[in-house]
């Protein structure tokens, strides 16, 4: 699994593509226009919401909105969420952190990278 981090350095956008712990630097994909990029993240988030609803151990906590999905893993404790999140981050597979919703610890996808695919989401959900 891989993730992409955008950051700004000296007025120049760079992209670090992290795949199995290897960082490669790339030129920004300027061929994407902003509207298409935003539409892509929303499309992936909508698909994520559908996949979460279909998953036997997951439940959406709120309706999927824009590029955000808030969901719970049925039967998990606060520590389970933190352990899973830490494991995914340490492996370089995903950066999905626990959050609180109405006092309950849950997970949240916030799809902000237009290169995130539905397959990436499926791979992450398969670990839950």
pLDDT for position 37 = 86
Backbone angles phi, psi at 123, to 5 degrees: -65, -40
Comparing C-alpha atoms, which of 18, 92, 90, 89 is closest to residue 107?
89
pTM, entire model: 0.71
Match 């979460």 to its residue by tokens. 52
Quickly state the pLDDT bin for 53 (edges 50, 70, 90).
very high
Q: Check whether 119 has a pLDDT greater than 70.
A: yes
Average pLDDT value over all residues in the chain: 80
Q: Tens digit of pLDDT for each residue in 23-44? A: 444 445 554 588 888 899 999 9
Residue boundaries of the structural domains of the chain: 31-126
Quickly state the pLDDT bin for 47 (edges 50, 70, 90).
very high
Chain-centre distance for alpha carbon 51: 13
- CATH number for the domain running over 31-126: 3.90.1150.170
CB-hemisphere CA count at 13 Å for 14? Answer: 11
Q: Check whether 2 has a pLDDT greater than 80.
A: no
pLDDT for position 16 = 42
CB-hemisphere CA count at 13 Å for 56? Answer: 1
CB-hemisphere CA count at 13 Å for 38? Answer: 5
């Amino acid at each position: 699994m891989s993730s992409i981090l955008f950051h700004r350095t000296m007025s120049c956008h760079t992209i670090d593509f992290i795949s199995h712990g290897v960082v490669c630097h790339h030129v920004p994909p300027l061929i994407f226009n902003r509207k298409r990029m935003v539409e892509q993240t929303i499309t992936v988030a909508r698909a994520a919401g559908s996949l979460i609803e279909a998953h036997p151990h997951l439940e959406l906590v709120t309706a999927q909105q824009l590029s955000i999905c808030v969901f719970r893993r049925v039967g998990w404790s606060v520590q389970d969420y933190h352990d899973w999140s830490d494991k995914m981050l340490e492996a370089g597979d995903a950066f999905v952190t626990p959050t609180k919703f109405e006092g309950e610890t849950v997970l949240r996808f916030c799809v902000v990278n237009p290169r995130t695919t539905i397959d990436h989401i499926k791979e992450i959900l398969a670990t839950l």
